[in-house]
Structure 1
């Protein structure tokens, strides 16, 4: 756990939120603290209905504890990831022994997707923790029970998962393999009879967790009934759940997408599959329910998310802890085999060589690709620091291979990945965040308009309001851009001398005279302009802005 704390906490407090999801959640948490309304999340002036408020409220609570947003937006992910590691270890210890639990937790800690997400201010590590806690409670009752308190705890955790992202209910897919195992009398199951009262209390625990959000929400919406309130309810309970699964609108991937995720994002654990699959098959032939339940649940989760066209790699992340759990009893023996040792060293080498080559290429012989990489991320003078970091990572991994060699390939793998994640957290991630920061844009705007002026944003992204210390006005986020511009013009007409608008340049034509605007520069690939009312064409005064199609407004999806 100390090693996990070192690796996962490295760099916390050293960077600001970076796109795409981090600024969105951080902005909602900011507005919770500023408004005092932690029940209805807002993104600017819009009600934010993409996700329930639990995760953003955790970020806001973290700010109340730490007083520092650079720490607060990452703290929930850190604590949730540490909690997930502890749950995997504890469950492995109870099901097998201490060594199996340690290997399972260590395997999870080495997995690329788990560590990368643990160091991000996104919702998925928290959801993974709640789902893993639910699974732990169910497994302790089914395999080590009867343990009614563990069952009730698991059902309550599943409810918390529901009010965090909605997928917490998937924990109850564990009932499918459990019922099959009971039907065919698999070994390792609790033999105590199930009582209806036990499951009634479990259902109440699940509903109680959901009620922590739904009951206050119902009272609030009843007292503040409006079109916005009804739209919020419809979107979060219908559009963002059922409709998004059945008729998704983005992130389309082929049916085999999650196989690619397993063999890439779940490295290096997936390298052990040639040894794990035969071992799992043997245990299933022996009717060992300790492997059937977590393995079958993981497969069901992957199948569930494979059936919809919209797929993202993090959707199946809750299945990863239980796969690591089932790997724990066998990893020590697998790493003593020659093929596994060669694979471990090859994996470290596959990371070391490109990192070293990229760093040397960027430093000594920049190419068109490296120059484009630097320009796209606005690294500027910071590019040399990035190339040095790549060289250091490559050399460190090479030294790990040379020092440990084949006999201690597992140690080479662990040490190499530890160095990589420390360098990423303490060096690379802060560097990339600083290079793409909105601070230079904000500084130029502040110097131009002065402290007494009012500022509004049109066609904005979530990271932009976060960078301002002053209060900024917006006219909605998902509102079509031409409607935002029309509202901004009407807003400016109320006080032309003191009101400025910062606008994406793609949105200006035909209402804003580009020659009458001030160029604020390009940030994150977007050209920003600052103007007052005198730059607005007479035909657009009063907010008369023509409606254009997507191409007319810069060809950028306003929801992204």
Structure 2
């Protein structure tokens, strides 16, 4: 069932925004250019994240795994690995019966399933955090086991060079502050743990620092500073975006994305408080609360950030699941949400706005999947809520993977636009992207030029102005909102609406006089041919 949830439909769709096209593009660029140490995006250094997740995709591409599979496989494998670690720990702490319940709860928690099927960094981060906590728990709860303890710190280090916040795995050590019985498991050599963490970070950090110091490349030095400072402490304290209120995760994210855990957890608050003396209950709860609090304090919030807490919440709930299912209201609420999800899909399939946005194939996906979920609920009505929820979510993810992916692919990618671009500019055309999104470069049939992903827009337009005047075969593709200041927006140049913009393909013939006078043009960056499509 877990494999259905994680793998159903893999290989049937291309990368979708947000984030997936960026990481797929960077990974393909690593393979095509041979520059693996520091990630690049269309020729420009990508300063926002360390490279481990992109490496995972790039290795698969280097091994000739098709892009449609390679970009999703690291998250899928990380999800399976996370489930194995969680269930194994549950089995060692509570026995095989509770371990089975833990697997059902984790596999069919919406946020865990979603991230296992999404090519974002976060599922790989969840794996490292879970492995880090697993190693520490093996020592504190089942030890002494110093090998697992040090592996936990190493995993936290690899989490840091995956997405900066891997150290949250060490939240499992917080109960040492007030629990003397747990402190007795420690010894002088416990202080070697932080050194192991630093050594893990150094596996990539030292080569990166050496390259930045000796390359005489100001971009490499800027990358070093951005990764070390701006993307860690500065981004945590002074968010670059996604600003949400303190209570965002508890009020807006967890109630939906942590289903069914969010339905069950409120019924266990008193029980947890009573059993907080048990280390096998205390440690997972501390991990959940500390993770949610840690990300709640930062002003920048995305729902996906708290995914590392999900495995630990299942570990806290699973020992009590049989007790919960003997009560009326937990079962009723659980099944009410199951029916609600299936009905939402069925009703949505008949909304005119949905048809406009998703088309006939999207409607088939919604209706077929919603009916399949309702049938699963009807056919399993004599089974426990845990099993009924599982079959219902399995039906959803199978429908999402096998029907939804292919049905929505043309809407969630710019493939059609880029095919039309290739036809219009011909095999010898030179293409530049203004204010672009990564998927446009990924789906181009040739190397493209860009003017700096985060560069000031007036400087980018000045570069586009100079670019199109190089010759009749030079073209610029960009969104109307940032093109119309310098180019005539003719109806025949309109290629359609996609990804938040109306995209136009222009040449020197559409250039307006007086475009960005006196502005210094942005630097030019040229990416490789990503090779997803053959030239027309």
TM-score, L = length of structure 2: 0.92
Residue of structure 1 equivalent to 2:95: 97
Q: Mean Cα displacement is larger for which, 393-402 or 344-353?
A: 393-402
Q: Distance in 1 between matches of 2:35 and 2:150?
A: 30
Tell me the equivalent position of 1:61.
59
Match of 2:298 in 1: 308
Matched, 1:169 2:144: no
Confirm whether residue 334 of structure 1 aligns to residue 295 of structure 2.
no
* 1:122 CA drift (Å): 0.4
Are 2:387 and 1:395 equivalent residues in the alignment? no
Structure 2: unaligned runs, 5 residues or longer: 521-536
Provide the C-alpha distance between the structure 2 equivalents of 1:408 and 1:13, rounded to a whole number of angstroms. Answer: 33
Q: Tell me: CA distance 1:425–1:407, structure 2 relative to 1, closer, same or farther (3 Å).
A: closer
Partner of 2:524: none
Q: Who is 1:558 aligned against?
A: none
Aligned residue for 2:479? 504
- Compute the displacement of 1:143 (Å): 1.1
1:51 Cα deviation (Å)? 0.8
Aligned partner (choices 426, 433, 437) of residue 450 of structure 1: 426
Deviations along 1:84-133, whole A, 9 cap, x unmatched? Answer: 00000011111121111221122111101110111111011000000010
1:66-465 correspondence to structure 2 within 5 Å: 66-182=64-180, 185=181, 189=182, 191-192=184-185, 194-200=186-192, 202-260=193-251, 261-284=253-276, 287-359=277-349, 361-362=350-351, 370-371=352-353, 373-375=354-356, 377=357, 379=358, 383-405=359-381, 408-465=384-441
CA contact (8 A) 1:517 1:530 kept: no
User: Where does structure 1 lack aligned partners over 5 or more consecutive residues?
Assistant: 363-369, 548-560
- State the Cα deviation string for residues 482-518 of structure 1 (Å, max 9, x = none): 212212332333x413222223222233422334973
State the shift of 1:251 in Å: 1.2
Find the counterpart in structure 2 of residue 483 from structure 1.
Answer: 459
Is the Cα–Cα contact under 8 Å of residues 462 and 519 in structure 2 kept in the other structure? no
| Aligned-partner SS, 1:24 | helix
Q: Mark the CA change 1:416 to 1:205 in structure 2 (over 3 Å): closer, same or farther.
A: same
Shift, 1:519, TM fit: 2.8
- The answer to whether the Cα contact below 8 Å between 2:295 and 2:301 also exists between their aligned partners in 1 is yes
CA separation of 1:274 and 1:229: change in aligned 2, threshold 3 A: closer
Native 8 Å contact 1:143 1:290 kept in 2: yes
Q: Larger deviation: 416-425 or 529-538? A: 529-538
Whole-Å separation in 1 of the counterparts to 2:52 and 2:383: 47
C-alpha RMSD of matched pairs (Å): 2.0
The answer to whether the 8 Å contact 1:142/1:178 transfers is no
1:533 aligns with 2:508: yes
Report deviation, 1:546.
Answer: 5.9
How much has 1:399 moved relative to structure 2?
A: 2.5
1:82 Cα shift? 0.3
The 1-side partners of 2:382 and 2:270 are apart by: 24
Which residue does 1:8 correspond to in 2?
6
Provide the C-alpha distance between the structure 2 equivalents of 1:19 and 1:535, rounded to a whole number of angstroms: 30
